[in-house]
Amino acid sequence: MNDWLADTRDSYDTVATSYAEHTRELLDQLPHLLAALRLFAEEVRGPVLDVGCGPGDITARLAALGVDASGIDLSPGMIALARSTHPALRFEVGSMTEPLPGGLGGILCWWSLIHVPDELVPVVFGHFREAVVPGGLVQVGFHVGDRTNLKTSGYGGHPMRVNVHLRPPERVAGWLREAGFVVEAQWLLGDDGAVLFARG
């Protein structure tokens, strides 16, 4: 396993419980992001994979909105937590850097692409394009900027070692187009977040 993948997996295994506690009610405080999720749920047709699902709370939100949603995450600790918290849903350990299950109506990728190095993002989006059916919907959320930060602690002060890549929306949109997606909308969320809607 590449060092960055191992670091990311181990870091999120370490913080899984505290991360879940920190983020569980966060979406209710972010009405624009909640609106983006609801719009995705209204527009998507067919099964959806939540890529980088963490403790599964957003996957569960999708399911509550009537979506056939399942999740994958690099961290076995996160997947164990997701399975115990949301036992009616499907969660598997997996990486977006590997081919994904096919026949998907959509992919949700919220703030998990931020740990993937620039040179691998086109590979990831290529996997997304192969996995979704024609007309399938992809929604990507990420931090906005043009730098990389090394995160060494977080979520209760637990040790972490992950790179956090901040990117301009136009760069992420360009990678999506190169992978064969049509970028339909770009939403800026304050000064440091963005959500892109793209269709295969």
Model confidence over 67-111: pLDDT tens digits?
Answer: 999 999 999 999 999 999 999 999 999 999 999 999 999 999 999
Separation CA 139–CA 101 (nearest Å): 17
What is the rounded CA–CA span in Å between residue 52 and residue 73? 4
pLDDT at 1: 53
Residue 159, pLDDT > 90, answer no
- pTM listed for this prediction: 0.95
Domains belonging to the chain, first-starting first, are 3-199 (3.40.50.150)
Residue 22: is its pLDDT beyond 90? no
Residue-by-residue DSSP string for 35-58: HHHHHHHHH--S-EEEET-TTSHH
